[in-house]
Amino acid sequence: MRPLLLKGHERPLTQVKFNREGDLLFTTAKDKRPTVWRADTGERLGTYNGHNGAVWGADMTYDSSRLLTGSADNSAMLWDTASGKRLHQWTHKSPVRAIAFSPGDSIVTAATAKLMGQQAQIYFYRHAADMASVDPEPVMVLGGLEATATRVLWHPTSTFLITVGEDAAVKKWDAETGTLLETVRLHKKGINDAQWSSTGEQFVTASSDCTAKVWDTRSLEVLKTFTVEAPVNSASMSPTFDHVLLGGGQEASQVTTTGNREGKFEARLFHTVYESEFGRVRGHFGPINTVAFTPDGKGYVSGGEDGFVRLHYFDQSYFDRDYD
């Protein structure tokens, strides 16, 4: 396969995410400019200019009409996806590390970092298509986090949400009351990323303890564990196969001390059931910070510490292969 190389960012990538249909690819990096790309051609469609710090993540509404970004400039911003116009800005006292729309797009969730003397918190704001009813004040604030939450996952049923944190904790919260239902610590180091399976019955977490784990959403039990030699920065589950994609590599501070090959900068594909690795894709010059399967499972995108986004569409051999 010949991947598309997207060089729009000048700093390490923080998140890559497809919209629901998979025709748009949103990328955020530490360079203040979230970018949207056409997924089929790799054409840059636009950038969202206005943040004044690293952008940690993004989420979009069901119809992709609005984009939400959270940044280290302490703000969460709401954008018109088509024009790049900023619609609203919520300001906090510490960087926004994770951001998400609730299913149905009625709530905006922003998780702030435990930094600058502030506690890690999760803010809930009302959101509606009509901008007049978008509230600048939070309707609910969740405390009680020991460390910064790195990702917020709303369950598709909207009844609860899952947060993963730098303290290796996976937490389940009641969406209605904001009570903490459960805390599970099965990773040994901080969790860098969490993504749903296509149905929401499972999710996968990627941790600095060199493992990725697939969890059962309801019981918060670990079903599968995938172990590699380097910290895992991101993991994604294929919507069509029993495949898990892991992206990671040596920490950025140690990259210069090792060669390209030793750094393990490859995207690694594992069989979900057998927990065995079956394929690798090389290409990045640094650790892979974020990965995502396309919603149709025919390809994946990876964003690296090297500032490159590589968009891959699998060869026919990937689909023809017998994995069992």
Q: Please identify, using beta-carbon distances, which residue of 188 and 321 lies nearer to other proteins.
A: 321
Task: DSSP for 166-211, please give it.
Answer: TTSEEEEEETTT--EEEEEE-SSS-EEEEEE-SSSSEEEEEETTSE
DSSP state of 1: -
Q: Please identify, using beta-carbon distances, which residue of 59 and 167 lies nearer to other proteins.
A: 59
Q: Please identify, using beta-carbon distances, which residue of 8 and 200 lies nearer to other proteins.
A: 8
Q: Please identify, using beta-carbon distances, which residue of 170 and 309 lies nearer to other proteins.
A: 309
As measured in angstroms, the least distance from the Cβ of 235 to other proteins is 17
φ, ψ (nearest 5 deg) of residue 52: -125, 40
Q: Please identify, using beta-carbon distances, which residue of 186 and 245 lies nearer to other proteins.
A: 245
As measured in angstroms, the least distance from the Cβ of 65 to other proteins is 9
Q: What angle do CA 104, 106, 108 make, to 5 degrees?
A: 110
Task: DSSP for 259-292, please give it.
Answer: -TTTTT-SEEEEETTT--EEEEE---SS-EEEEE
- Separation of alpha carbons 198 and 202, rounded Å: 8
Q: Which residues pair with 13 in a beta bridge?
A: 29
As measured in angstroms, the least distance from the Cβ of 66 to other proteins is 13
Kindly list the strands in the beta sheet with 55-60, ordered across the sheet, starting from the edge strand earlier in the chain. Answer: 55-60, 66-71, 75-80, 86-91
Binding residues for other proteins, rule: CB under 8 A, are 1-8, 21, 23-24, 33, 35, 37, 41-49, 63-64, 82-84, 266, 269, 274, 276-283, 310, 312, 314-315, 317-318, 321
Q: Please identify, using beta-carbon distances, which residue of 16 and 168 lies nearer to other proteins.
A: 16
As measured in angstroms, the least distance from the Cβ of 36 to other proteins is 9
- Separation of alpha carbons 134 and 274, rounded Å: 47
As measured in angstroms, the least distance from the Cβ of 140 to other proteins is 31
- Separation of alpha carbons 100 and 45, rounded Å: 22
- First and final C-alpha spacing in the chain: 23
As measured in angstroms, the least distance from the Cβ of 41 to other proteins is 6
